[in-house]
């Protein structure tokens, strides 16, 4: 299973130099009406939330306005970034604007549920 996923999706992710991916993350996205940023719809940024070991993703906006996710171990109980989708409202990770449920639903419907992502031959995302 892992090899099949790595073969199909591995070229879409750029690992840090010298590091091997151990998981791939997929999330539907909507576009922020205010700043145009592509918002990943994340119900949680936690990867593991156990009493002895908590691991979460920290969203970082690069200077190219690309979203990068960094793993870290939050020290506080609520140390991870707040979810970006709640009650069908999406919150932008870049500017904190909130998209109404109607706007989120309209974009998801337009994307056909977000399942038909189109990539160019070199792996760049070119369509919904």
Q: Using CB under 5 A, which residues numbered 21 to 50 contact Zn ion?
A: 32, 34-35, 37
Contact between 94 and Zn ion (CB under 5 A)? Answer: yes
* 90 belongs to the binding site for Zn ion (CB under 5 A): no
Tell whether residue 92 is a contact of Zn ion (CB under 5 A).
Answer: yes
The three-state DSSP-derived secondary structure of the chain is: CHHHHHHHHHHHCCCCCCCCCCCCCCCCEEECCCCCCEEECCCCCEEEECCCCEEEEEEEECCCCCEEEEEECCCCCCCCCCCCEECCEEECCCCCCEECHHHHHHHHHHCHHHCCCEECCCCCEEEC
Task: Please work out the total of residues on this chain that contact Zn ion, with binding judged by CB under 5 A.
Answer: 8
Q: Which stretch binds Zn ion (CB under 5 A): 45-53, 63-71, 73-81, 86-94?
A: 86-94
């Amino acid at each position: 299973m892992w090899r099949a996923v790595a073969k199909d999706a591995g070229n879409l992710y750029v690992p840090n130099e010298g590091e091997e991916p151990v998981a791939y993350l997929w999330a539907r996205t909507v576009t922020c009406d205010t700043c145009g940023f592509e918002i990943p719809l994340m119900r949680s940024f936690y990867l593991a939330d156990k009493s002895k070991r908590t691991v979460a993703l920290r969203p970082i906006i690069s200077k190219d306005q690309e979203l990068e996710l960094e793993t870290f171990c939050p020290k506080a109980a609520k140390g991870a970034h707040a979810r970006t989708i709640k009650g069908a409202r999406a919150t932008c990770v870049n500017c904190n604007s909130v998209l109404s449920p109607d706007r989120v639903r309209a974009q998801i419907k337009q994307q056909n549920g977000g399942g038909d992502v189109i990539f160019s031959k070199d792996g760049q995302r070119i369509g919904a």
